Structure 1
Amino acid sequence: MENNAGVTTEVSLASMTWQGVTLTPSAAKQVASLTKAGQCFYLSVRTSGCTGYAYDIKMIEQPKDDDLTFESHGVTIFVALKAMPFVDGTEIDYVRQGLNQVFIYTNPNVKNVCGCGESFGV
C-alpha cells in the first residue's frame, strides 16, 4: 500500500482491529448443541458459486495459532484470520422454517449474493 508521501507501507491482517463475529441467542443455543466435548465452532470462507465466496462452518478439535476468538452469548467462536476481511461484523442467526433449519448470516461486507443463495461477493 502506498501513502500520499509515496512511501510503501505494509498492512498485516494480524495487526488489524476487528469488530468480530457474533451469534444471536438462537444461534448460540444451536452451536452449543452441535459442539461435542473437545470441539470448537470454526468459521471461515471458501471460494464458491457465481459471486465468489461461501461461508464454511466446521467443528474442529484445535484452532490454529492465527485464528481469532470471539465470545457471544456464552459460546466461543473461532474465525480464520484470512476470513476476517469477508466476515468482520457478521451476526449469525439460526432459524427454523417448517422442517428446514439454517444459519442466516447478516454480513455488512456483502455487496452481492447469487440467486440461489449459495455464495456472496464483497
Structure 2
Amino acid sequence: MSVTSISSFLPENLIWKGLTLTASAAKQIHYLIEKNPNIKGIRLEVKNAGCAGLKYVMNMVNDLSNEDLQFLQFGIKLFVPLKSMPFMDGTQLDYVSEGLNQVFKFNNPKAQHFCGCGASFNIE
C-alpha cells in the first residue's frame, strides 16, 4: 500500500504580487476621495456572477476588514479580501476612455474566459 501526500492551499501563506494602479486610475480615485474625505481607500474584489463566473466589484470604503490585504499605490490604499486574491493577484486597475465614456478597467493577467458582453470572467 502506498501513501500519498496532499498539500494544503492556504492563501494567507502565499506571497502576493499585489494590485497596481495606473496614473490615470490614481488621478480619478484621488478625485473621488477628495469629494468624500471619510473614505479610507478602495476595496477591490471578485464576486460570483455572470455567464463566465466572476465579476469585479469596486467600492470606496470607510471601514476596514480584518480579511483585507492592503496595498499602497500613489498614496491610495487598496483593500482586497484575502479570498479574492487568487483571482486578482497581479491585476492593474486603469481608467480609460471607451467611446464617449470613461471607465475603470481591470487588466488581469489571470483572466482567461470572458462572457460575450464582457461583464464577467474566469481564470484557468
TM-score higher than 0.5: yes
- Which residue matches 1:83? 84
- Which residue matches 1:26? 24
* Alpha-carbon spacing, 1:7–1:98, altered in 2? closer, same or farther (3 Å): closer
- Name the SS for the 2:16 alignment partner: coil
Give structure 1 regions of 4+ aligned residues with deviation exceeding 6 angstroms: none
Q: How many residues align?
A: 118
Q: Which of 93-102 and 60-69 deviates more?
A: 93-102
- Which residue matches 1:116? 117
The offset of 1:8, in angstroms, is 3.3
C-alpha separation between the residues in 1 aligned to 2:85 and 2:53? 15
**For structure 2, which runs of at least 5 residues remain unmatched after alignment?**
none
TM-score relative to the length of structure 1: 0.89
C-alpha separation between the residues in 2 aligned to 1:76 and 1:87? 16
The offset of 1:10, in angstroms, is 2.5
C-alpha separation between the residues in 2 aligned to 1:115 and 1:71? 33
- Which residue matches 1:106? 107
C-alpha separation between the residues in 2 aligned to 1:46 and 1:7? 32
Q: Pairwise CA RMSD of aligned residues?
A: 1.4
Q: Percent identity?
A: 42
- In the alignment, residue 38 of structure 2 is paired with which amino acid? G
* Alpha-carbon spacing, 1:7–1:94, altered in 2? closer, same or farther (3 Å): same
TM-score relative to the length of structure 2: 0.87
